[in-house]
Amino acid sequence: MSDSLERSAKMSQLKEPLVRKLCEVLDKSSSRGWRKLGEIVGSDRRFKVSSDDMEMCSLKVLELEGSPSLMLLRLMGERGCTTGHLMDYLQALGNQDALLCLKPPALQILIQPQSVALMCGHNLRLSCHAVGRSPVQYQWFRSKEEVPNSSSPDLVISPVQLKDAGFYICRVNSGDAFEFSQWVQVDVLNAGVSYGQSYHSLDGRLKLVVQPQSQRLHDGETLQLECGAVGRPIPRYQWHRNGVPIPNATKRKLVIPHVMQDLHGRYRCEISSSSSSSSERMWTNEVDVVIDDIYAIGEGSGDFLLNSIPDQLYATDKVALLIGNLSYQNHPQLKAPMVDVYDLTNLLRQLNFKVVSLLDLTESEMRNAVDEFLLLLHKGVYGLLYYAGHGYENYGNSFMVPVDAPNPYRSANCLCVQSILKLMQEKETGLNVFLLDMCRKRNIHDNSAPNIVLRVTANIVFGYATCQDAEAFELSSSGFTNGVFVKFLKKRLLDDEKITVVLDRVAEDMGQFDATKGKQALEIRSSLSERRALTDPILPGDSADLAHAHSRQWAKAHELPESMSLDFDCGAQIKLGFAAEFSNVLVIYTHIVKKPEDMSSCQAHVTDFSQDLDVDPKEMNRETPEETGIYLLSSCLPQHCLYTRLSSLQKLREELVFTVCLQGTFASMDDDHPVHWTKSVNIGKPLIARLDLHRAMRRNSCLQTCLMPHSPSHSPCHSPGPEHRLHPHHASLQAQDCNRLSPQQRYLDICEHLQGAVGGCGEPYYDHLSQCRFEPPCDSPEGLSSSPGRLSIPIEASDDIVELQTVFINSLQLQ
């Protein structure tokens, strides 16, 4: 950039660190400080600074961290003062220290390396990028030793080993000038002791991968507990015993030699991000440490030791599927599901759940996503399904509406939650939690009566965002906010309490919310008999191999592409980075790290994406994350980049190939026409795209259970036309079929239908049934029908279940 261009630049374009340093110099100087500068500017008719302005600047000293110089510089910038004018004023002021602040140094480090914790066997990349008046040279050091073959801006060790852990620094030279980067620590975790989730942390977020294990010790032995998380920057640790922080226990490994019995108890570690701008925090599993007196143990003490460990409920694994549908094709659009899914994803990760978070799924994509979710379940697993979007409830069964559902929609176009529960029960899961953030109004266009027979298991919990036949609300806001349910749920989800207790407290909190009083109230249905909590530790047990196989399957769908540096023939270098906002939403950011000295301007952007993704060119390569729709991840992304958001990765049929375009102009060229360079980049199938959710429904396990034999829209087509709808004469035919049955057969058929259609545990919910009854068809005696037709629609009534049964019994006696 030429000097004239720098002088014409607006003062508002000065970088914050430079302005802060300049203000420190001017604030400290008494004779050649901000007051004298104000007098010089005030004498210039172009940017007159009045005495009132100077008094306003002087009042800034009364504020915490207030700066009169900063106020003065802002006033000058607002009145059109350029960087060149400021340099002239500082020259007249005679403050050389202030002038030096505006002159670029001979060598400046733009990108500092960051500390990182990562798994053994993954790729380590440390980056340090600098600019200077002459060519820049790099040399990396580990402690005091030079790292061989490390003379480039990026230090790459692939794969990283345990021996590579330590402290690193980079020396940068440009001519006679040299600078050192900041020291960074590399912590390498051993995958062989990982009992948590093993996956990459290329997006920089904190992820727990090593869990502590319970210990049984004797007096005088050494207690050793270990945990670990990956992330960038490196995490911080604080061990706790019985809920109280242990002094000076701030390492990954807690080692206490010569333990005594008074140190027994429950231990866990709090892990947090070391970034000042981040508030990420998570906890390890809580483990038992039992210390026995060696002299008190004699013959037969084995049983004593075994029974001395307190009873603890465990999960063999934890898996969560989170679906948020907001961009509906034929129905009103929603806002809150995106924020709700994002917040719950981060919270459930802290509870060591393997989370799959997906936005805007079609019917086939939802069914395939459920199938993949079921593949991760096995005996003892805690399975959690959260859904936010449009929905309805018929006969006590809840239906989730895909984004491509027709208007009106019926059961064949939607997913039945109780059908998914039935499939989860077949996996012998340890806990089944359903959090349904949707409306539960009756669908008058759907007359189907699902016949779903569930097992009687004492491990089912339903948390409905609203009561039966009521609506769930999202708050009206110009920005992005949570729906009412998650607004209160996220404050309680990390509580170490039985899940039903957590939901009870959420219900109490929602009851105090004035905006929805009398309109929306949380409803809980549970058959849970044990004190199972989402905070329970994970103990793979006999299914350890199966759990690891499922972990690899899950990790396969959550691997981000490696960040990369692209070198162009002109000498420019572009850094390409990636981050995941959801399991099916990828963020690409580009940054120019080096350009030739004779290149006056340089721009880089990404283009030519697959048509499967339907990317809007107007929302690509934006200067701020928010401009491209990245509202939730923006604080975690690097600054001074161009950002592009790719959603609906589940639609990607081939590997993701795109083009990086570079265009630049040179000062030596007579015309201003830019020169173009391009590079093609192939990042494979990122994130959820690896699972091919776009495919035809092959396994059909969810499909077969969701389509009901009594459904008027039951057909091979998922969006039935008029020929598949139930017409009035169909109802009379059903009534005739019913009349052929004996009264006893009809009574059993009705009771079986009611018991299968209502309730979540294979048992009838009588309190639920008391709110509805069948409207008798005109040609069916006493309203009995083996298959409810269009005339058999449940309507609101106050009849008690006893009265309903009495009607049935009386009808049998009359026959």
* Spatial CA neighbour of 575 closest among 108, 186, 128: 128
Alpha-carbon dihedral 575, 576, 577, 583, rounded to 10 degrees: 180
The b/e string for 98-121 (b: 16+ C-beta within 10 A; e otherwise) is bbebbeeeebebebebbbbbbbbe
Q: What's phi and psi for 774, nearest 5 deg?
A: -90, 135
For β-strands 207-210 and 166-174, DSSP reports them as: unpaired
Rounded distance, CA 6 to CA 292, Å? Answer: 74
The two three-digit tokens of residue 113, written as one number: 């390396």
For β-strands 460-464 and 431-437, DSSP reports them as: parallel
| Cα–Cα–Cα angle for 237, 240, 241, rounded to 5 degrees | 155
Partners of 352 in the beta sheet? none
The region that residue 573 occupies, defined by phi over 0 for left and psi between -120 and 50 for alpha, beta otherwise, is beta
As to burial, measured by CB atoms within 10 angstroms (0-12 exposed, 13-18 middle, 19+ buried), residue 185 is: middle
Active site residue 390: yes
Hey, how many other C-beta atoms are within 10 angstroms of the C-beta on 801? 17
Q: What's phi and psi for 810, nearest 5 deg?
A: -60, -40
Rounded distance, CA 695 to CA 362, Å? Answer: 12
* Spatial CA neighbour of 735 closest among 784, 700, 699: 784
For β-strands 265-272 and 236-241, DSSP reports them as: antiparallel
| Cα–Cα–Cα angle for 608, 613, 615, rounded to 5 degrees | 60
Q: Which of 439, 602, 636, 661 is catalytic?
A: 439
Rounded distance, CA 125 to CA 272, Å? Answer: 22
Residues whose CB falls within 8 Å of the CB of residue 631, separated by 6 or more in sequence, listed in order: 479, 480, 625
Active site residue 439: yes
**DSSP-assigned letters across all residues of 415-441:** EEHHHHHHHHHHTT-SEEEEEEES---
Letter for the amino acid at 641?
A: C
Q: Which of 85, 378, 390, 710 is catalytic?
A: 390
**DSSP-assigned letters across all residues of 85-138:** HHHHHHHHHT-HHHHHHHSPPSEEEEE----EEEETTS-EEEE-EEEESS--EE
Catalytically annotated residues: 390, 439
